[in-house]
Amino acid sequence: MSKMTGSNESTLSSRNAYYIFALLFLLYFFDYIDRTVVTSVAPFIREEWGLTDAQSGLLMSVLYWSIVAFVFPVSIIVDRWSRKKTIGVMALLWTVATVACAFTRNFSQLLFARAWIGIGEAGYAPAGTAMLSGLFPEEKRSRMMGFWNMSIPLGTAIGIGLGGLIATHWGWRHAFGLVAIPGAIVAILFFFVKDYKTVELVKTQDPARQVKTKMSKTDIFWEFMRTPSLILTNIGFIGCIFVNNAIIFWLPTYFHRTQGISISDAGMKTSGIMILALVGLPLGGWLADVWFKKQVRARLLFPAITTILNAIALYIAFFLLEGKAQYIVFLSVGVLASAFAPAAITVTQEVIHPGLRAISYSICVVVQNLLGASMAPIVIGKLSDMSDIQTAMSILPAFLVVSAVMFLAGSFFYAKDLSKVEKIALQWEK
């Protein structure tokens, strides 16, 4: 039986590694279906309850605020207790909350239920990222992150497309109820997978004699604050996630209002764009890994290049084109918008102590959701209320330019930060 190994890490059978990967993929897939189904049902809710665009945006934003509020404490539990148990509990919570959305009777109740979905989903990305980083060696991490994150656009596309379809034929409440059930099944299965043991928080005091001491809270704090490539990567995430979430939430409305097509057709057009991240994620991860073997800075140079290309594509789509030509350019955005993620996520895992991986990505999640994902629906919605959806969406390329600069700056520090990381072997459960 072949083994999956990491740098200085213990082995796990490839069968177990890929089985765990498959469950992680399915959970992320159902996570994003539950998260984004509200995008295409929002027009139906807006019509029934008389909501404004800004209120509709809140239905998405409140979920990200919940994630921001709970992701850090949950990630501590992940790193210090158990990845698999935390993931299982969280997945059950978010599926129950999704079902609860179907039984709400007013805006406040639905907003509350959506907040609980966010609480359930709070620690999944850090927990899954930490587990995945231990499953595969560094020369494969970006591509496996890419394959894992393919579940996001797939779940997003299915959530947007299926939500609109179900809402059109059976009502928006059925959309919430039907998409939640499969995730609960996978969540139960995850309680029975293998996990690596909690990593002791120690640091090498004397490299020559390999003397290790326990890390203090101050040591942990400076682990993050003295890693510039990590800080710049986290900042770079903000603009990328702001733009991606603005497109996910508002592009169906943009197509509906500027082209006069139905909400159902607009949702399907948006799904066609988002589904192309199935190309961007694995391709981006693979290219970043190939380049990484020749140039360590590639971990952040690659996100910088793809992000600036995405900015150019969005500028052309919003300012210069319309109709079929515009949609073709939007399809390229579907590839470019996600290509940065595998390598950038890998950075958050490789330049930090192995016992702090979930916490590291939780900080990234807090930053990108607080300043990016949660703000996008509200900001674009408010600008749309003040002017129109065309004007509101036209600001998006500027956010990507800033993100590209952050990734580029981080690339100059990456090799040095990587060399400082503590080398500790992971021990997997028997």
Residue ranges of domains in the chain: 3-192+217-419
Q: For domain 3-192+217-419, give the fold.
A: Growth Hormone; Chain: A; (1.20.1250)
pTM assigned to the model:
0.79
Single-letter amino acid code for the residue at 246: A
Give the angle 30-33-38 at the CA atoms, nearest 5°. 150
* Cβ-based burial of 253 (10 A; exposed 0-12, middle 13-18, buried ≥19): buried
Per-residue pLDDT of the chain (430 residues; tens, 9 = 90+): 344 444 444 456 788 888 999 999 999 999 888 888 888 888 888 888 988 887 888 888 888 889 888 988 888 888 888 888 888 898 999 899 998 998 999 999 999 999 999 998 888 888 888 888 888 888 888 999 999 988 987 888 788 788 878 888 888 888 887 778 888 888 889 888 888 787 888 887 655 556 678 888 898 899 899 999 999 999 999 999 999 989 988 998 899 999 888 877 888 888 788 889 889 999 999 999 999 999 999 999 999 999 999 999 999 999 999 889 999 999 999 999 999 999 999 999 999 998 898 899 989 988 998 899 889 988 999 999 999 999 999 999 999 999 999 999 999 999 999 998 888 777 777 6
Tell me, rounded to whole angstroms, the distance of Cα 427 from its chain centroid: 27
Helices (H), strands (E): how many in the chain? 20, 4
- Can you tell me the distance from the alpha carbon of 225 to that of 366, in angstroms, rounded to the nearest whole number? 16
Q: Where are the alpha helices (H) located in 226-322, listed in sequence order?
A: 228-259, 263-274, 277-294, 298-315
8 A C-beta contact, residue 294 and residue 348: no
Amino acid (one-letter) located at 172: W
Task: Tell me phi and psi for residue 296, to 5 degrees.
Answer: -60, -35
Structure tokens at 405: 């600069």
**Chain position carrying tokens 């979430």:** 245
Cβ 24 vs Cβ 131: under 8 Å? yes
